[in-house]
Amino acid sequence: MMYRLSLISMIALVTWSCNTSNQSSEETDEQEEMTEIDRQWWKEGTLYQIYPQSFKDSDGDGYGDFRGIIEELDYLESLGITAVWMNPFFESPMVDNGYDVADYRAINPRYGTMEDFEEMMTGMQQRGIRFVLDVVVNHSSDQHEWFQAAKKSRDSEYREYYHWWPAEKGEPPYRYSLFDPEGGWDYVEETDSYYLHTFAEAQPDLNWENPKLRQEVYDIMKFWAEKGVDGFRMDAFQFASKDITYPEFPEGYESDFIKYHGLRPQLHEYLKEMYLEVLEPYNVYAVAEGSGSTFQDAHDLVDADRKELQVAYHFDYVSMSRTPDRYTLAEFKEVFSKWDSAFAEAGWMAIFLSNHDNSRMVNRFGDPRPEFRTVSTQMLNTFLLSMRGTPYTYYGDELGMTNIDMPNIDEYVDIEALGKYQTAKAKGADLDAFMKELNYNSRENGRTPMQWDASENAGFTSGKPWKRINPNYVEINVAEQNDNPNSVLNHFRKMTALRNDNLVLVYGDYELLWPDHDQIYGFTRTLNDERVLVLLNFSVEVATAELSNTMSITGTLINNYSKEFNAEGGKLSLEPYQAVIVTIQ
Ligand code: TEU
């Protein structure tokens, strides 16, 4: 009902028209009648991120694979999601779990074949789920044939695909590496030179200043666009353009390395070129991983008139709550509210609370204790799915999957964690304190296998899982939650349905209420005459607030407590982690 009312008064300016293959003609007619809003499929609905190695194993080798995902296509559809972003599954020596690509057109056999991929993607698209590919082109693997040829001869046709510093010029100017404690240059004996790597030693940076390399990248993207992918997530692209005169950077510059390594003006030229070569002709969109350091940087990347990328995915919330002393609700409100206001008039962004580079959402922002895990995860999912911006849900967060306890470094395989450990050790840091923090925030937490049921190995694999399964799978799993109407899973499904049916939750203006309240995060969303109020108790205590007398509640859309929500006389009272969305006038 609300959906229809909002549509009547609007005409979409579909400036960059979306793929209409699974839109009904009725919907298309309605879009033509709309005004004011630039409707796009990638703004509406919910995106679900799958870490393929950990989702479902079909052949018992302990690694998730495409056929495992095919087995769960109906599950994906049941979630009410509208797109899937999958982490890399290309040929790779797996130094950084696939973010080190050795062949951009080949599938790592661990995940299956190209036929399996096509069947999986088509299966999603037939269910109204678009597919977003991870494009990792700031760097390749050192096993890529380009690098293998480039490192052997200074005359190789691929030499200029990478960044080199000839040893006869002496030591190269220091460059910071995110994963390598020894810095960003590594020596290669064959050609007596150093190559640059922003990430691990096995991830040499590609030279975007070279037009031939850029053309290779566009050709790779076209290859996948022709296979039918609907969008791209541009991994670490901020670092792609470099000043190849390699100036010295001031000492200690790494504390602000994005300023030095990221978003050179030339990058915008390259993105415009990519837009014209790939995004526009193939009618696909692209998400920016990282958005510079200012709002202006983000706008310059994603505003429609820039013709570069389309969705900003910034890191401000990621920086919050990285340590076990966590965040304050005031900070949380401030970060989300300021980004919302920055995008109120132009541009678009993703909203997320976790991903494969972070620990689990409920540990960082909610309350993982068994008695509060369900309600606090539901509260966070209510938040995620009622904000402006496209919600990006990480697999397992629809169940309330939690961090895994890994106090001992011997169990860690992630290159980032191992690099940080080496650095801490070399600096003589307090290793007990370091391990405590790593256990809380490491990327390993978010990569444990999906918890399907209470059987051995959580129904993830019949073999030995590549990574230890969180022992709490016995309580937290899909099978257990499927039949429980009050589960995190069924609440998530209600939220996706609510968002899909109410454009006010997608496009409505956001207004923060009670900015100083230290328990409640309340905000309204307004689109024409539609108005909803989102009420979230971020605390373990009952929380109260008073509603302004200009607002009256007309109905309840969702409530994670079975007790009826009432607000007699404008007095609100929320149970611990209660989350309610009401309509208001
Ligand atoms: O991450 C890019 C990035 O900027 C990282 O610093 C990220 O913030 C860090 O890993 C967080 O702990 C991307 C991918 O998301 C990441 O998984 C890869 O390891 C990285 O690129 C290299 O490809």
- DSSP labels for 407-431? --GGG---HHHHHHHHHHHHTT--H
**For residue 247, what pLDDT is reported?**
96
Ligand 1: residue whose CA is nearest its atom 8:
357
- Mean predicted lDDT score pLDDT of the chain: 93
What's the CA-to-centroid distance between 357 and ligand 1, angstroms? 6
Name, in order, each residue with C-beta under 8 angstroms of 445's C-beta and a sequence gap of 6 or more.
Answer: 358, 359, 360, 363, 403, 404, 406
Mutate to test the pocket of ligand 1, among 51, 97, 99 (most ligand atoms within 8 A of CB): 99
C-alpha 302 to ligand 1 mean position (Å): 20
357 lines ligand 1 (CB under 6 A): yes
How high is the pLDDT of residue 32?
45
- Is 239 near ligand 1, meaning CB less than 6 Å away? no
Segments in the chain below pLDDT 50: 1-26, 28-35
Q: Whose CA is nearest to atom 9 of ligand 1?
A: 357
Look at residue 18 in the predicted model and tell me its pLDDT: 37
Whether this prediction's pTM lies above 0.85 is answered by yes
Ligand 1 pocket, residue 257 CB under 6 Å: no
Q: What's the CA-to-centroid distance between 179 and ligand 1, angstroms?
A: 9
Supply the pLDDT for residue 37.
86
Encoded tokens for 157: 């046709």
Residue of 91, 100, 216, 289 marked catalytic: 289
pLDDT confidence of residue 34: 47
The torsion of the CA quartet 306, 39, 222, 68, rounded to 10 degrees, works out to: 130
Atom 11 of ligand 1, residue of closest alpha carbon: 357
Closest ligand 1 atom to residue 289 Cα is 2
Closest C-alpha residue for ligand 1 atom 23: 99
Q: Cβ(99) to ligand 1 under 6 A?
A: yes
What's the 231 CA to ligand 1 centre distance in angstroms? 19
Decide: 531 in ligand 1 pocket, CB within 6 A.
Answer: no
Say if ligand 1 is within 6 A of residue 287 CB.
no
Long-range contacts of 159-162 (CB under 8 A, 24+ apart): 160/207, 160/210, 160/212, 160/213, 161/206, 161/207, 161/210, 161/212, 161/213, 161/216, 162/195, 162/196, 162/204, 162/205, 162/206, 162/207
CA atoms of 286 and 420, how far apart (whole Å): 31
Instruction: Give the nearest ligand 1 atom to 443 CA.
Output: 12
- Ligand 1 atom closest to the Cα of residue 356 is 17
Residue 405 is among the residues annotated as catalytic for this protein: no
- Beta-carbon contacts of 431 under 8 Å, excluding residues fewer than 6 positions away, are 424, 425
> CA distances (Å), 374 to each of 367, 469, 488, in order?
9, 20, 6
* pLDDT at position 235: 97
Q: How many angstroms separate the alpha carbon of residue 401 from the centre of ligand 1?
A: 22
Q: What is the pLDDT of residue 25?
A: 47
Cα–ligand 1 centroid distance for 304 (angstroms): 26
Which ligand 1 atom is the nearest neighbour of the CA of 199? 22
Q: Which of 142, 199, 354 to mutate to test the pocket of ligand 1 (most atoms within 8 A of CB)?
A: 199
Q: Cβ(136) to ligand 1 under 6 A?
A: yes
Q: At 194, which helix (H) or strand (E)?
A: strand 193-196
pLDDT for the residue 555: 95
pLDDT at residue 16, rounded to an integer: 31
Is 30 a residue of the active site? Answer: no
The closest residue, in CA terms, to atom 17 on ligand 1 is 357
CB-ligand 1 contact for 176 (6 Å cutoff): no
Please give the pLDDT value at position 324.
77
543 lines ligand 1 (CB under 6 A): no
CA-closest candidate to residue 545, choices 578, 574, 579 = 574
- In this prediction, residue 20 carries a pLDDT of 35
C-beta separation of 302 from 311 below 8 A: yes
